[in-house]
Amino acid sequence: MTAWTNWAGTERAQPRRTVVARSTDDVVAAVRAGVADGLRVKPLGAGHSFTGAAVTDGVHLDLTGLTGLVAVDQGSGVVTVRGGTRLHDLNPALLRHGLALPNLGDIDQQSITGAIATGTHGTGARLGGLATQVLALRIVLADGIVADCSATERPRLFEAARVGLGALGVVTELTLQCVPSFVLHAQERPEPLDQVLEALDHEAESNDHFEFFWFPRTDRVLAKRNNRVPEGTPLRPLPGWRARLDDELLANTVFEWTNRIATARPSLVPRLNAIASRALSAREFTDTAYKVFVTPRRVVFRECEYAVPREALRPVLAALRDWTELHDEPLPFPVEVRFAASDDVWLSTGYERDNAYVAVHQYHRLPHEPFFAAFEAIVAAHAGRPHWGKLHSLGAERLRELYPRFDEFVAVRHEVDPGRTFGNAYLERVLGS
Ligand SMILES: Cc1cc2nc3c(=O)[nH]c(=O)nc-3n(C[C@H](O)[C@H](O)[C@H](O)COP(=O)(O)OP(=O)(O)OC[C@H]3O[C@@H](n4cnc5c(N)ncnc54)[C@H](O)[C@@H]3O)c2cc1C
């Protein structure tokens, strides 16, 4: 038995066995053996979900050997990648072929399949989440059959499996639509919250990737605008010392100490936030896209994130602001606001809706429950859809109301996994059984 814990330390598992799979055949063998032994099976990504999505008491499938590119068509940008590949390996591998994913989230630690299975997204009002890049999937089902699916081949399985929550089978290969590699001009600077809220729609629409971080109990945000530059524009990356100062020293080392101080002296948090929101200095640089998107995150936190319709963002933030003013809750982490375009992926938070994403965080040594519960109550009034990989309290009953294709997803699951080989407690809660 190999004990397992997720990155945030919110979930633990004591699987009966952990099997390392290096090929689709290995996965088939592991699934068949698990079923024969009456065990449930769960593939592992990088353990970066805050929820129990990857927990099992049966067989944990370690896919760290099932990695790398299988096929690349540089002309069309279509690539096939093995399911266990981590984003930090995939991004440079794509670049070597002159390709890139059009958008990414904050970090690159996840496996491509784990990220897609839970609806991982970045920011960009004209761009969908990572799942919108999926053209085809190879998936090992509970009966040990290897199924290939796409918009034309087993389309219902494909629609369900794009954001599949790990509920349908083990994805061993993914075919993705990539774009030519590109360079981003990054502008980051502190700004007044009201000014940003005033220009929200314009900012979201006129920047390729716009987001901001608001520090509770302050009226300041750190706004980030990343925009594509014409091909051939010379790179002007941050000097090494500045990147280390900002990303390592300030964002990780100093931030860890700020959080420890906040834990010991919660009353200091408003002052710490005021300092942080003003200490962050403006910076501007031009670099390969994935290097701009991704930041190392070593300070351990808990997170809850909801997608709300774009027009709900202002009332949601106003209510959050009121709550933080009224309650003396120590909140040293900023609230993150991002944008994404609507899509057609059944269980994607972006299903047929342009969204703003609001993410609340809490340092792991401080209680997150009061703030997260208040946040969930606020977004509930705006048809908020929770990120499948982040902490939330919703169950199947409510999720069915939020996702028009929920029952079709459940029907596909009944067909391909009637015995719940890939089930676990998280799926029982969010899918109903
Ligand atoms: C520090 C941090 C920053 C983050 N930033 C962002 C962000 O910017 N944007 C965002 O949207 N999210 C973000 N997340 C959330 C994260 O992207 C998701 O939780 C994602 O699922 C993590 O991927 P993983 O590889 O760690 O998957 P895991 O958490 O290991 O697994 C997630 C699910 O995928 C399933 N799975 C894994 N591999 C397979 C497979 N081969 N076949 C079928 N199912 C599989 C697992 O069984 C599980 O159900 C962040 C999380 C952290 C901790």
CA distance 236 to 187: 12
CA distance 82 to 104: 18
Mean pLDDT of the chain: 95
For residue 1, pLDDT over 80 is answered with no
Among residues of the chain, what percentage have pLDDT more than 90? Answer: 86
Q: Write down the pLDDT at residue 261.
A: 85
Both tokens of residue 5?
């814990």
Residue range(s) occupied by CATH 3.30.465.10 in the chain:
66-180
Q: Which atom of ligand 1 is nearest to the CA of 48?
A: 26
Report residue 168: phi and psi, to 5°: -110, -25
Q: How far is the CA of 326 from the centre of ligand 1 (A)?
A: 34
| Residue burial 370-405, b: 16+ Cβ < 10 Å; e: rest | ebbebbbebbeebebbbbbbbbbebebeebeebbeb
CA distance 134 to 79: 10
pLDDT band at 279 (very low <50, low <70, confident <90, very high): confident
Q: How far is the CA of 188 from the centre of ligand 1 (A)?
A: 27
Report residue 314: phi and psi, to 5°: -60, -50
Closest by Cα among 389, 408, 386 to 399: 386
For residue 252, pLDDT over 80 is answered with no
Name the residue with tokens 């918009």. Answer: 151
Q: How far is the CA of 218 from the centre of ligand 1 (A)?
A: 31
Among 19, 27, 49, 362, say which to mutate for ligand 1: greatest number of ligand atoms within 8 Å of CB: 49
Q: How far is the CA of 295 from the centre of ligand 1 (A)?
A: 16
Residue range(s) occupied by CATH 3.30.43.10 in the chain:
4-61
pLDDT, greater one: 238 or 223: 223
All residues at 6 or more sequence positions from 238 whose CB lies less than 8 Å from its CB, including other chains: 246, 283, 285, 287
What's the pLDDT tens digit per position in 66-91?
Answer: 999 999 999 999 999 999 999 999 99
- Segment holding 139, helix H or strand E: strand 134-140
Does domain 4-61 bear CATH number 3.30.43.10? yes
What's the pLDDT tens digit per position in 168-193?
Answer: 999 999 999 999 999 999 999 999 99
- Which residues have C-beta atoms less than 6 Å from ligand 1? 7-8, 42-49, 53-54, 63, 83, 105-107, 110-111, 113-115, 117-118, 120-121, 165-166, 170-171, 297, 387, 389
Q: State pTM to two decimals.
A: 0.96
Q: Write down the pLDDT at residue 249.
A: 64
CA distance 262 to 26: 48
Top-level class of domain 183-386: alpha beta
pLDDT band at 240 (very low <50, low <70, confident <90, very high): confident
Among residues of the chain, what percentage have pLDDT more than 70? Answer: 99
CA distance 104 to 402: 25
Among 6, 26, 48, say which to mutate for ligand 1: greatest number of ligand atoms within 8 Å of CB: 48
Closest by Cα among 81, 91, 37, 92 to 59: 37
Q: Which atom of ligand 1 is nearest to the CA of 111?
A: 25
Closest by Cα among 175, 49, 40 to 118: 49
Average pLDDT over residues 116-134: 98
Q: Write down the pLDDT at residue 182.
A: 97
Quick check: 187 and 225 in contact, CB under 8 A?
A: yes
What's the pLDDT tens digit per position in 365-396?
Answer: 999 999 999 999 999 999 999 999 999 999 99
Q: Write down the pLDDT at residue 38.
A: 98
Q: What is the DSSP letter of 319?
A: H
Residue range(s) occupied by CATH 3.40.462.10 in the chain:
183-386
pLDDT band at 274 (very low <50, low <70, confident <90, very high): confident
CATH fold, domain 66-180, is: 3.30.465
